[in-house]
Amino acid sequence: MNPAKQSPRMESDGTLRWYAGDTFSLTFNFTLKDGSGNPISINPGDKINIKFFDFNNELVHEFESTGTASPTIVITDEISAKFKEGIYRILVKFNATNVTTLLKNNKVVVE
């Protein structure tokens, strides 16, 4: 028997993976820089939106975090039930003075 891999985990190809039915907290650490490479300060009202879509491009679940570049998503039993085994994609946007896309159509696999 092979042991299960860590869940959730980020694979070397950039795919986020977890097992169907799992519950967990996952913190993203985004390093935000302007066009000149200077760090962008996060203000208390700045938001990061994290959206998961299914293969039909329908929204499965959305998280919003305010005032941090390290948002944490919490996958509860209720949220986990929305993610059946399959392939999803994630979209992450930073909403401040300007809107900046941080991740677009990155693959998510629920095993």
DSSP 22: -
35 confidence band (pLDDT: 50, 70, 90): confident
2 confidence band (pLDDT: 50, 70, 90): confident
**Counting beta carbons within 10 angstroms of the beta carbon of residue 14, is it exposed (0 to 12), middle (13 to 18) or buried (19 or more)?**
exposed
73 confidence band (pLDDT: 50, 70, 90): very high
Residue 1: the pLDDT is 85
Q: Which sign does the torsion angle of CA 70, 26, 101, 79 carry?
A: negative
Are 74 and 50 contacting, i.e. CB atoms less than 8 angstroms apart? no
pLDDT tens for each residue of 44-66: 999 999 999 999 999 999 999 99
Residue 50: the pLDDT is 98
